C-alpha cells in the first residue's frame, strides 16, 4: 500500500472511488454522499494538502481526507488528527486495506504529536460503527451534520 497526497491529476480517481463507495452504501440502505461527489470540494482539499490517494500495486484503491482540526464536529483545541471520507474501491474490499489506512493515519497523528485519532460516521449505520469499534475507536457522542446525523469516534494514538 502506498499512501500519498493527491494531486489535481488524481481528482477524478478519488471522485470515482467516493462515487463507487456511495453507490455501494446506498445498496445497504444508507444515503451518504452525493453522486457524483463534488469535484470542486476535492480540488479544494487537494490545494490544502488534505486529500490522499491510496494505491495498491500502482492502482488507485482508496481515498481519504486527513485534517489537523475539525472545529465544526469536535470543537477546540485541535489535539487530534481527523479522518474523513475514507472510501475503498469494492475490488479491494475485505483485504484489510481500511485498517491499514487507519493505522497509517494513526502513525501520522503520533508523529505530529497528536493524542487522538478521530473520525465520524453515519449514526444509523451499525455496520460501519461496529467496524470502527473493532479497530479500537470509542463512541464519544453524536452530532447533527447538515448531510446526515453522525456518530463521533476517537481512540488514543498508538505509540
Q: What is the mean pLDDT of the chain?
A: 95
Dump pLDDT digits (tens) for 11-29. Answer: 999 999 999 999 999 999 9
Looking at 3.40.630.30, 3.30.1180.10, 3.90.950.20, 3.20.20.210, the CATH number of the domain 2-117 comes to: 3.40.630.30
Classify residue 129 as left (phi > 0), alpha (psi -120 to 50) or beta: alpha
Do 35 and 86 touch, CB atoms closer than 8 A?
no
Domain range summary for the chain, segments of one domain joined by +: 2-117
Q: Note whether 52 and 5 are within 8 A (CB).
A: yes
CA 78, 149, 132: angle at the middle one, nearest 5? 65
* Alpha helices for the chain (secondary structure H): 11-27, 39-47, 71-74, 97-111, 126-134
pLDDT band, residue 123 (cuts 50/70/90): very high
- Residue found by looking up cell 500502482 in the block: 58
* Span 45-69, average pLDDT: 97
- Summarised one tens digit per residue, pLDDT across range 77-90 is 778 999 999 999 99
Amino acid at each position: 500500500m502506498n499512501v500519498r497526497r493527491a494531486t489535481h491529476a488524481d481528482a477524478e480517481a478519488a471522485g470515482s472511488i467516493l462515487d463507487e463507495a456511495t453507490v455501494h452504501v446506498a445498496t445497504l440502505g444508507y444515503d451518504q454522499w452525493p453522486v457524483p461527489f463534488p469535484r470542486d470540494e476535492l480540488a479544494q482539499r487537494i490545494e490544502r494538502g488534505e486529500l490522499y490517494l491510496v494505491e495498491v500495486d500502482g492502482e488507485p484503491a482508496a481515498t481519504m481526507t486527513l485534517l489537523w482540526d475539525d472545529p465544526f464536529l469536535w470543537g477546540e483545541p485541535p489535539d487530534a488528527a481527523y479522518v474523513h471520507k475514507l472510501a475503498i474501491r469494492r475490488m479491494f474490499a475485505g483485504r484489510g486495506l481500511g485498517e491499514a489506512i487507519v493505522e497509517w493515519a494513526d502513525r501520522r497523528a503520533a508523529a505530529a504529536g497528536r493524542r487522538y485519532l478521530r473520525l465520524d460516521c453515519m449514526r444509523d449505520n451499525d455496520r460501519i460503527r461496529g467496524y470502527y469499534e473493532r479497530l479500537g475507536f470509542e463512541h464519544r457522542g453524536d452530532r447533527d451534520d447538515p448531510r446526515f446525523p453522525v456518530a463521533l469516534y476517537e481512540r488514543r494514538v498508538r505509540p
